[in-house]
Structure 1
Amino acid sequence: DCNYAANTDKAQSIKSKIESGELLPIEEVKTPGMTTIEQVANFLKVPQSHTLKEVFYIADGKLIFAVIRGDIEVNEVKLKNVLHCLELRLATEAEVVETGIVAGSASPIGITGVKIIADDSITSGANFVAGANKPDTHLRNVNYPRDFRVDLVADIALARAGEGCPKCRGKLSSAHGIEVGHVFKLGTFISQKLGALFIDPNGVSHPIVMGSYGIGLGRLLAAVIEHSHDDKGIIWPLSIAPYHIYLCPLYLENPQVAATAENVYTDLEAQGLEVLFDDRKESPGVKFNDADLLGIPIRVIISPRTLETNSAEIKKRSEKESQLLPLEGIAARLKELTRD
């Protein structure tokens, strides 16, 4: 309903709300062999949205405990930005167990010495299921902030199609795109971490202000082709086409065709046009199919038939119909066509 757009790394959403009710006392329940959110939710017959998911990361060498609603995934880019860290990765089971936490039944309750980052999804709803930090055991009726503390509550969730738009409250939709360029305003964050400094005229050191600006040429070409093609091949826009003209002489064993094609090629190059001269002795069908596949904007056909009227057949790749142009002055006329 609006113009909001973002890639998955940055996209925000209005998460579905869960009704809050009376906060019930914590209850310990046995969950033998249940270690995943799906298993626990099915075993206890609760929606995954009524569970808390605990995910462990190593951020710049330190263990981080991320807590999020069970039906939502952690967006690691958002988490990295919230932590202001240079490196972030999932913790191994051994790294988690070293701290005394029980993998598969981790709990935010009673955790000390570990930084806890919670997604804001846990602030709505009540009486969640969470780990008990005991094997084969979970807790019912866990509530934030009654039962556990966190160091920071932030949006660390991966936005999903169907959730609310942060601008217009409509529904988000998802589509595949191609990132053809980016601008990262890094500021002084990385330079401070790396000690990248400069000295001003007064002899005072300051962190370098950094930015990253990129254009993906390969991706840009892919985006153009995705936008401009048909079932026969590419349709290059003139502005970025590898050649302006596809010169296609037919029946090159005919001396008049060969000589005329050479003369036209010379005249076109003299006009500053970039020409792909197909001098293969292939059939018309093969050459026409290859011309459509390559997608060069203008096809110039010289054949015994066109020479009967002292002309060449001109066909734009983007159009179905062709036209005949007199050979006299054809290079100048084609130059004009490339400016249209």
Structure 2
Amino acid sequence: MRASHFFISTLKEAPADAEIISHKLMVRAGMIRRLGSGIYAYMPMGLRVIQKIENIIREEMNKAGAIELLMPIVQPAELWQETGRWQKYGPELLRIKDRHDRDFIIQPTSEEVITDIARNVIKSYRQLPVNFYHIQTKFRDERRPRFGLMRGREFTMKDAYSFDRDVEGLKKSYQIMFNAYVNIFNRFGLKFRPVAADNGAIGGSGSHEFHVIAETGEDALVYSRESDYAANMEAAIALPPVQERAAPAHTMQKVPTPGQKACEDVTTFLKQPLSQSLKVIAAIRTEIPEGQPGHFAVILLRGDHELNEIKTQKNIGEFRFASESEIIHHLGCPSGYLGPVGLQNRQDLALYADHAVTVMSDFICGANEKDMHFTGVNWERDVPLPSIIADFRNVVEGDPSPDGKGTLAIQRGIEVGHVFQLGTRYSEDMNATYLDENGKPQLMQMGCYGIGVTRIVGAAIEQNNDERGIIWPLSIAPFEVVLCPLGYDRSETVRSTADSLYGELKKLGIDVIMDDRGERPGVMFSDWELIGIPHRIVIGERGLKEGKLEYQGRRDREATAVAIKEMVPFIREKLPRNG
């Protein structure tokens, strides 16, 4: 490719609405252009990256035995009504009507469509297992689109869906896809980590997320340095404490704490560590009618711990946090002064405690009275332990690993892939069955496997950048090599050498672009460093007089002089697949 036949449009400054580095650099490098909130056009340079990502995905999916098809962007509402997701998906589901006033949606995902296809085309156990995949545009009507391609409304995803006869078959298909994902992300050249995850709105049983490691990632990843254990924060298990509760050393006293509501403020005021306080969270269990026992719930956490909403939902069912007026109505005092003392006999309340709470002694908690707290509170002596004790909290650095090997550490990541064992979540709702060996209908076991194609572009940049711009991994860079001839439009020697080298590299199948625009060296170098091409070769009259060309890798701080005749084999060594 010659730059004069391509489209290069770089900017010195990023637009004001670009918040994170990948968004800024993609706009500055001319890879995307914003059309509307969360909606972008992929410009030629950005599209080349996306196509390379898609090619790697296709190769590995095909190698793993998946079969490509293409499902529509617009889907009939009836399919979503069958599974109940028409109501449950919420405002992110973009609903539309056709000229006949029939309901449709712009697809955010394709479980319903692929299940409809399967129930109509798969009749016999002899047709199983099978795995279909497609790479298609998605739309989710995000409340607050931001971060460019990282959280846009329109994006591209690869979805795959496996169908099996039984659970054992599903587990095999799941493992095949898990291994394929590992191969895909290794080929992308990105640092990544697969972690155990919660299934969320998709449904089903086991699942793993694939995260690109980046300090700017939105997700907290939990892992053990001494083992293979890894999970996202939502699914990471906080084990019950192994230590025994210390014997009481103080008597319970009610003390004034005027205006001190948050645990941090109360403990600072009382000159005690935050871990010595008890945090009380009031919730409304929405699955239980108002006025029924257990509708109002109280959850107890250690003051320095944070509530994990996913675990909480699994422990108490669907819930929402109680409003201030509801707290006052049920407990008789404002939030910030709540505590378990005196609540144990309330039949209308559901009282829960996190495991870590059970080993606390001489702790601080609200006195259920404005501006008052208790100190020196002890379980059994002053208040009985709640009858329901479970894992309600986020893990913290140093917690023991659930597999018994080492302690937990936390790093940031960007979710770019997710694999699910759906089981019969959709086949049951949509009656997707096959006939077994005995001619009896059986529900198909399903798996679901997604990769955020366009999100990978942003995640790769978040992980690989410097003050000069993007640093692409070789396999997904828009071009592998850029030739920068100095004075291409003025020097016959430079032009002939550059044309000859360009032709040799093209013949070898190397993805090379030659900057024949006639730009000044500073402009050329800045553009290609911003765009992030992994390998740069400079051809200049001064070097040619010495029989040399100049090579510089994108991560290199200094250039290397290479003899003209040695440059092709030198570059081939830098590109192992072409070696």
**TM-score (normalised: structure 1):** 0.74
Tell me if structure 2 keeps the 8 A contact 1:248–1:299. Answer: yes
Relative to structure 2, which stretch is displaced further, 242-251 or 148-157? 148-157
In the other structure, the counterpart of 1:106 is: 338
- Separation in structure 2 between the aligned mates of residue 316 and residue 70 of structure 1, nearest angstrom: 50
Is 1:183 the counterpart of 2:419? The answer is yes
In the other structure, the counterpart of 1:41 is: 267
Structure 1 residue 103: Cα displacement: 2.5
- Separation in structure 1 between the aligned mates of residue 259 and residue 550 of structure 2, nearest angstrom: 75
Give the gaps of 5 or more residues in structure 2. 1-224, 288-294
What secondary structure is seen at the aligned counterpart in 1 of 2:315?
A: helix
1:286-325 to 2 correspondences below 5 Å:
286-305=523-542, 313-317=550-554, 320-325=559-564
Q: Aligned to 1:56, which of 282, 288, 302?
A: 282
Where relative contact order (Cα < 8 A, 6+ residues apart) is larger, the structure is 2
Tell me if structure 2 keeps the 8 A contact 1:129–1:142. Answer: no
Is 1:174 the counterpart of 2:410? The answer is yes
Instruction: Describe the superposition over 1:163-203 as per-residue Cα deviations: whole angstroms up to 9, x where unpaired.
Output: 44444575544333343433344556x769xx834254589
Decide whether aligned partners of structure 1 residues 300 and 138 sit closer, same or farther in structure 2, where only a CA change above 3 A counts.
closer
Relative to structure 2, which stretch is displaced further, 266-275 or 296-305? 266-275
In the other structure, the counterpart of 1:2 is: 226
Tell me if structure 2 keeps the 8 A contact 1:161–1:174. Answer: yes
Is 1:134 the counterpart of 2:359? The answer is no
Decide whether aligned partners of structure 1 residues 114 and 280 sit closer, same or farther in structure 2, where only a CA change above 3 A counts.
farther
Instruction: Describe the superposition over 1:75-132 as per-residue Cα deviations: whole angstroms up to 9, x where unpaired.
Output: 22322333354xx543321232343442222233243323333101121133433333
What secondary structure is seen at the aligned counterpart in 1 of 2:518?
A: coil
Q: Aligned to 1:236, which of 452, 472, 479?
A: 472
In the other structure, the counterpart of 1:251 is: 487
Tell me if structure 2 keeps the 8 A contact 1:34–1:136. Answer: yes
Aligned residues: 332
Tell me if structure 2 keeps the 8 A contact 1:252–1:281. Answer: yes
- Separation in structure 1 between the aligned mates of residue 327 and residue 502 of structure 2, nearest angstrom: 71
**Greater C-alpha radius of gyration:** 1
What secondary structure is seen at the aligned counterpart in 1 of 2:231?
A: coil
- Separation in structure 2 between the aligned mates of residue 117 and residue 209 of structure 1, nearest angstrom: 36
Structure 1 residue 321: Cα displacement: 1.9
In the other structure, the counterpart of 1:273 is: 510
Give the gaps of 5 or more residues in structure 1. none
Tell me if structure 2 keeps the 8 A contact 1:9–1:75. Answer: yes
Is 1:76 the counterpart of 2:309? The answer is yes
Tell me if structure 2 keeps the 8 A contact 1:18–1:125. Answer: no
Instruction: Describe the superposition over 1:269-314 as per-residue Cα deviations: whole angstroms up to 9, x where unpaired.
Output: 4554333232232222332343344332332333334555888555
Structure 1 residue 246: Cα displacement: 0.5
Percent identity for Structure 1 against Structure 2? 33
What secondary structure is seen at the aligned counterpart in 1 of 2:235?
A: coil
List structure 1 segments (4+ residues) > 6 angstroms apart after TM superposition.
202-206, 330-333
**TM-score (normalised: structure 2):** 0.47
